[in-house]
């Protein structure tokens, strides 16, 4: 299993950051490897959607649904498809009006052989991906 996590402080209040992140259609704006979000459905318990993610230039289609949906606190998405695992977003209001956002990913690569060959590459790739996504989220609110 590949596990990576990154945190960043966003210069915006929790409610604004949550509102932006709670709309899955905003993910392609901040996540460099998410190229498409579609079939979004929502009810009181969370969301489900389909997505296309490009890893090392290879498109991977999958779906995800929330297993934990605590507005303005925490969201956990379960991934289904070639990548299986979880995506976790946590949100913390800071005393100065800013928001700490933590983005975690834990998933299995499609095959054990592939995992043994590319594990370290995938870890570095995803560390960069999480860091860039959080930087893009910060930039999203820096211009406001």
What residues does each domain of the chain span? 2-142
pLDDT tens digits for range 88-128: 999 999 999 999 999 999 987 666 545 555 666 677 777 88
Q: Look up residue 35 and give its two tokens.
A: 């190229």
Q: Please give the backbone phi and psi of residue 57, each rounded to the nearest 5 degrees, phi first.
A: 85, -5
Q: Is the pLDDT score of 143 beyond 80? A: no
What number does CATH give the domain 2-142? 3.30.530.20
Percentage of residues of the chain with pLDDT beyond 90: 62
Secondary structure element (H or E) that encloses residue 8, with its range? strand 2-10
Alpha-carbon span 96 to 81, nearest angstrom = 40
52-58, long-range: CB < 8 A, 24+ apart: 53/83, 55/122, 55/125, 56/121, 56/125
Alpha-carbon span 89 to 5, nearest angstrom = 10
Mean pLDDT of 40-69: 90
Q: Is the pLDDT score of 51 beyond 70? A: yes
């Amino acid at each position: 299993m590949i596990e990576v996590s990154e945190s960043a402080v966003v210069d915006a209040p929790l409610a604004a950051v949550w509102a932006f992140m709670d709309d899955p259609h905003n993910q392609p704006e901040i996540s460099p490897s998410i190229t498409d979000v579609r079939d979004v459905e929502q009810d009181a318990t969370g969301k489900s959607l389909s997505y296309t993610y490009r890893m090392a230039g290879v498109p991977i289609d999958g779906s995800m649904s929330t297993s934990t949906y605590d507005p303005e606190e925490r969201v956990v998405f379960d991934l289904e498809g070639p990548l299986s695992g979880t995506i976790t977003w946590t949100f913390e209001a800071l005393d100065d009006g800013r928001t700490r956002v933590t983005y975690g990913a834990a998933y299995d690569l499609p095959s054990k052989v592939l995992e043994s060959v590319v594990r370290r590459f995938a870890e570095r790739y995803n560390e960069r991906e999480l860091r860039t996504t959080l930087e893009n989220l910060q930039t999203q609110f820096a211009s406001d």
